[in-house]
Structure 1
Amino acid sequence: MNRGQSFLLLLMGSVALLTLFVILPFVEYVIAAAILAFVLYPFHRRLSRWLRARVSKRFGQMLSALTLIFSAIVAVILPLAYISWVFVRDLTAIAAGDTAINVAAIEAEIAALTGQDPEVADLLQTAGELLVEVLFGGFSGVVTTGLRASVGLSLALFLLYYTLIDGPAFVRWIRDTSPLPPDVTADLVDRIDAMTRGVVIGHISVSLLQAVIAGLGLWVAGIPNVVFWTFVMAVLALLPLIGAFFVWGPAAAYLVIIDQVTAGIFLAVYGVAVIAMVDNYARPLVIDQRAHLNPGIILLGVFGGIYSVGFTGLFVGPIVIGVLAATLETFREDYDAI
């Protein structure tokens, strides 16, 4: 390596670090835009092809991208924004000691069964305070997070537009500039594509579906703070078979404790007959079998991602681990003999 190449590598590394420093405050929104573009691109390709037959090529691409962005805002971003707002509202209320749960009935039932005098309200408040501290850095961080989310969301929408328009050219550039042999680069890109689709469209979409169905059951049964518990189940549902049960099971028992036996029995039957069946049948049907990731690894990625980059870590963490797995698998198959 000569001096010119060494200097160029040093310059590239320095600029890369500076770029990371610049985008770091909004890195979760950059990644969110990339993930959403990844999911929407197959629709963009078909829609833009249909529009190009009627208008110019460039205008067809622009119109397709804008149509999909508007659809994503209505179908994804607005519901997520509402769910996030309700989740934050209920979480801060729990952390402040204000909850709609009938804590007195729970404490009385536990005292009757064990002879102990538990402080369930204090435990709930402590858990709420801990979650607020971990997710937002305390109560003061909630407002700051909201303001940054507004700016980040606007940035993500702009990035989504340009990623849909120029994404294929960027992928071609990566293929062309990769120092790996073309066949190894193609194999790695295909593995990453399969792994990402398996994680985003498979594990996480099934978990979100299960959480929504379970949340509907909680709402019908009359459980308070339904949106909050639905969000919790969306994370726990990444654990097959038993994940969402950690919420709807105790919720059914809670209803029985407060003398709403019919609602409690309904929720228990609904959980076994409907919620559990979504996991048993939807997961094998939806998950791409090429994404061989253990559910425990995915759960680790979810919690680590949420802790590291916020809400979008729900998707980012498992994808990062999936990309690592794809890279290791490519290395094993293409360079194992070296």
Structure 2
Amino acid sequence: MKARTAFAAILVGVLAVLSVLVVRPFLDYVLAAMLLAFVLRPAQRRLAPEIGARLSAFALVTLTVLLFVGPVGLFVRVVLSDVDDLPTSVSELPTYRSVERIVERSLGVQIGAQFDQVLGSFTSALAQRSSGLASAGVHFTLGILLLLFLLYYLLKDADTLVRWAKRVTPLPRNVQDDLYAEAEEAAWAVLKGHVLVATVQGFVSGLGLIALGVPNAMFWTVVLMFLAMIPIVGVSPVLGGATVYLVVNGRILAAALLVVYGMTVVAVTDDYLRALVIDKESSLHSGVILLGVFGAAYFLGAIGIFVGPIILALFKETVEVFVEYYDLT
């Protein structure tokens, strides 16, 4: 009996390692599919009794493509297409001439040749990596297709998957029920208090850039949404850079308006949403969120910004459930 148990454990361990190796190249897309399925699950529960599990899952995947995957894919395509349009000389950069004249008058230093050399080296390196960009594009396309297929089946067969997980998990059913309930509550708390607040704050900040005519305002709005998810950093770097840009271009009034807008509308939006959502529903400390964002982004890439805090929140809730039921204190 012991030999058979040991053989079964070794077999399961080997297959688990092989499964991880199979999933690892597309782990970020798998996690993104799981996250989207979790967010769309309440809608699936409402639609499935009316139109069926398959049709409701297909409708939600189509909606996801229209609202999320399509715009993201278009954004990535635009960014990649702009690589060929990068300036090859520093003199092509906006506002460069005025900055160059100021430096030369103040310090008597010629900066054009040095910057031309640095920028030329940078664009040459990008050109040499064109094959890498093409490979990344193929990987991105395959990953998106995988994400959509997984999202469809996760929505359609979610109940079957949960029943299987509960059946094979060697824990009492009441402990499992509490674990799933706490995990769902913790995940929603992080999504609302971390992702929702950052998205709204970044969008509101971007409206200020658009209204004041800052170049590439739509691109910077997306950047603001991601930066807002990072505690301590927030939207300040982009808003501060935009303010400096406006000052350098002689638009002093616009720069002042952006500063006032950031200190009033953006700050009030952030404080109000955090008081409404985070303080009531999430007990995850900002330091833990910061650790989750940085650590998971380093390990998983961009998707880690979203799932990192959720993983730490799930760990916290799991420890609390185990302590309660097994009296570990």
**TM surpasses 0.5:** yes
Deviation, 1:336, is 4.4
1:163 correspondence with 2:154: yes
C-alpha distance in 2 between matches for 1:84 and 1:72: 17
Name the residue aligned to 1:102.
95
Residues 23-51 of structure 1 show CA distances to partners (whole Å, capped at 9, x for unaligned) of: 21111111111111100010011011222
Give the alignment of 1:120-199 within 5 angstroms. Answer: 140-199=131-190
Other-structure match for 1:83: 75
Identity %: 36
Is the alpha carbon distance of 1:223 and 1:90 closer, same or farther for their aligned partners in structure 2, counting shifts above 3 Å? farther
Task: Assess if the C-alpha contact under 8 Å between 1:201 and 1:286 holds in 2.
Answer: yes
Structure 2 counterpart of 1:278, one-letter code? T
Distance 1:159 1:50, change over 3 A: same
* Structure of higher CA gyration radius: 2
Is 1:28 equivalent to 2:20 in the alignment? Answer: no
What's the CA shift for 1:252?
Answer: 1.5
Tell me if the contact between 2:202 and 2:224 (Cα under 8 Å) persists in the aligned partners.
Answer: yes
Residue pair 1:87, 1:227 contacting (<8 A) in 2 also: no
TM-superposition CA deviations, 1:116-138 (whole Å, max 9, x none): 9697996xx79xx7xx99xxxx6
- C-alpha deviation, 1:199, in angstroms: 1.9
Q: Is the 8 A contact 2:87 2:93 kept in 1?
A: no
Is 1:327 paired with 2:315?
A: no
TM-score between the two structures when normalised by the length of structure 2 = 0.84
| 9 and 238 in structure 1: CA distance in 2 versus 1, 3 angstrom threshold | same
Once the 2 structures are TM-superposed, how far is the Cα of residue 68 of structure 1 from its aligned partner?
0.9
1:16: Cα distance to partner?
Answer: 0.9
Q: CA deviation at 1:71?
A: 0.9
Partner of 2:9: 9
User: 1:215, 1:229 within 8 Å by CA — same for their partners in 2?
Assistant: yes
DSSP 3-state at the match of 2:229: coil
- CA change 1:207–1:108 in 2 (3 A) is farther
Q: Secondary structure at the match of 1:337?
A: coil
Aligned match of 1:312: 303
1:139 deviates by 5.5
AA matched with 2:285: N
Give the aligned length.
Answer: 322
Aligned mates of 1:312, 1:93 — CA distance in 2: 28
| Contact residue 187 and residue 330 of structure 1 kept, 8 A | yes
Q: Secondary structure at the match of 1:195?
A: helix
- Gap change, CA 1:140 and 1:116, over 3 Å in 2: farther
Pairwise CA RMSD:
3.3
What code does the residue aligned with 1:204 have? Answer: V
Q: Partner letter of residue 157 of structure 1?
A: L
